Amino acid sequence: MSRQEQFLEVVDRDVAETRFQAALRLEPVGEERVPLAAALSRVLAQDIPATVDVPSFDRSNYDGFAVQAADTYGATEHTPRQLALKAEQLATGVIPTIEITAGTAVSIATGGMVPRGADAIVMVEHADLDRDRLIVRKAVTPGFGIAFAGSDIAIGETVLRRGDLLSSRATGVLAAIGQAEVPVYRRPKVAILSTGDEVIAPGQPMQPALVYDSNARILADAVRELGGEPWEMGIVADHVDSLRAKLNEALAEADVVLLSGGTSKGQGDLSYQVVAELDDPGILAHGVALKPGKPICLAASGGKPVVILPGFPTSAIFTFHEFVAPVIRTLGARPTETTDTVPAQLAVRVNSEIGRTEYLLVSLVAGANDERLIAYPLGKGSGSVTTFSRADGFVTIDRHQELLAADAPVDVRLIGREVRLADLVIVGSHCVGLDYLVSQIEQRGYVVKLLAVGSTAGLKAAERGDCDLAGIHLLDPKTETYNRPFITPDVELAAGYGRRQGVLYRPDDPRFAKHDAAEVIAAVANDMQTVMINRNQGSGTRLLIDTLLNGRQPPGYSVQARNHSAVAVAIAQGRADWGIAIENVARAAGLEFLPVQDEQFDLVTPVARRSRPAVQAFLKLLVEPKIRETLGEMGFQLD
């Protein structure tokens, strides 16, 4: 197969992984000795035998008196035994100069060295002093109160073994046997290169058409989590010679080379061009039948992995964990990480693309009566920064499968070790007022999972018992009433607050000045030069928008913002000229606002879940005077 054929071929995920790993030196990258203080979370490269006993002497476990146990037999409160008390007092760190013989005792501190002849400790509370006599009021057995030399660790005993991951408990053991330096496997050095003229480092001022480099941060920290040593080489502009020089530098010093971005076939995507110059063997797969992650490029040079990760954050981190993470673990001598799988039920219907294995990132919540887990897809696309961080796991959709129905049983491969279910699950419509309420309930110790899926989907989830609360603002056109007409016997309504929806526009836009909302919408709905920003299907605001437009679809109609704040930002940045959102976000963004109508944002809770402590705490929060006062200050309308 020629390099050009490799470049054009989109291969199956397993084929790509097999090719990739076959070209690598998959063995630990070396050993080194580090100070004990730097050994935490490192992997032992050798077995560690004890060179001392622990404890190294017979040690008292109590404040009391070292005795021969036989002298105490029969001692009680009413029939005490008397022993001759030697004058010496055995503090910690003192080597005894006396020997305990029959009928004698000596004072000893906790941690003190037990003298020759003694075989037990009488605790101080079980004895009294009478000048030079010890009055023993409780008998002891041989060995009581003494940690004998080597009883914890004996000389020659293997205390830790090669391949052990050193925890704080393990480093404590090493300290106990006097180990000042520790033989560990060297951490694989992972070079990270971000590419692209559009990429800027966090901290620099944002400008149009630029993006902050989030990939380098998440990759570097993921490398640390895997036991590697990240080498952040910075951002390289789209210049072939500069990129080639950086790649050669990385190959000379690093064990793994990661490039972020530039893996596609566009004119400015230079990473694949530079990596294509490598040999021994060079590019192994460019394009894998995955979603997300199709553009990934897997290569190797001299047994070292060279990977071009897609530029979009979710694609980058997902493909990193699929292809690169296992390699880093192997190079660092870490054990293969096992991943758990849990059964769940899909919350909504999902369409997939035939021919590509799709990994559907999901968030898990407890279903009705906690009988099952419900998997909500986090469908924000491969460009999302937050999707992977908020996912509990993913569902693998076979490349031959086109559809997963709502309520379909699925297996969810967990991203973490276990599912941490929230105390309170809230789905439905987004609102900045709800954001405030969630922050307040979290400050009271509750773990909350908030999924913005729109009013309609939220109400259905509540009716199924798949959430604790659902935020809704649904208008019944027949009664012109919000929310109450939609309440069924399975759910109860908790009154929230009022808010005002209206048209948002920039203050300097003359097309909207001196008009009311109805006039504006009538004018711009047919103006091909005026671009709107829409809301996501299923949201209460989208239903309002479609009612106002009455079947018309102005420019921008297909662009859907997930929440009110996103509408305001799009208009403020000039990506759109108008949209419908609540008044609060308009004021916060410095936009003008033309009122359309007042609405009620309420919460519904399944009857079966209302008694849950977290639900009760949230409902009480809703009516607290200070909370209501703050909501009023935020611009919400309260009864």
CA–CA dist 274, 18 (Å, integer)? 23
pLDDT computed for residue 379 by the predictor: 65
The two tokens of residue 622 are 């809703």
Which of 200, 232, 204, 199 shows the shortest CA–CA distance to 216?
232
pLDDT computed for residue 248 by the predictor: 95
The answer to whether the beta carbons of residues 324 and 225 sit under 8 Å apart is no
CA–CA dist 310, 292 (Å, integer)? 9
pTM, two decimals, is 0.77
- For tokens 């989590």, name the residue: 225
Give bridge partners of residue 611 from the DSSP assignment: none
CA–CA dist 182, 547 (Å, integer)? 71
Which of 112, 103, 135 shows the shortest CA–CA distance to 122?
135
The two tokens of residue 351 are 């369409």
CA–CA dist 27, 479 (Å, integer)? 71
Helices 540-549 + 455-464 axis angle, to 10 = 140
Give bridge partners of residue 122 from the DSSP assignment: 65
Domains of the chain with bracketed CATH: 3-27+187-331 (3.40.980.10), 31-54+152-185 (3.90.105.10), 59-147 (2.170.190.11), 341-414 (2.40.340.10), 424-639 (3.40.190.290)
The answer to whether the beta carbons of residues 586 and 592 sit under 8 Å apart is yes
* Amino acid code (one letter) for 572: A
pLDDT computed for residue 540 by the predictor: 83
The two tokens of residue 528 are 């091909």
H or E segment and range at residue 496: strand 491-505
Which of helix, strand or coil describes residue 395?
Answer: strand
Q: Alpha carbon 242 to chain centroid distance?
A: 35
Q: Alpha-carbon torsion 453, 457, 459, 464, what sign?
A: negative
Q: Alpha-carbon torsion 17, 23, 27, 29, what sign?
A: negative
* Ordered DSSP codes for 421-480: --SEEEEE---HHHHHHHHHHHTTT--EEEEE--HHHHHHHHHHT--SEEEE--EETTTT
The answer to whether the beta carbons of residues 185 and 45 sit under 8 Å apart is yes
192 torsion bin: left (phi>0), alpha (psi -120 to 50), beta (else):
beta
Q: Which parts of the chain have pLDDT scores under 70?
A: 1-8, 262-269, 368-370, 379-386, 416-419
CA–CA dist 478, 214 (Å, integer)? 48
pLDDT computed for residue 381 by the predictor: 56
pLDDT computed for residue 451 by the predictor: 85
The answer to whether the beta carbons of residues 569 and 589 sit under 8 Å apart is yes
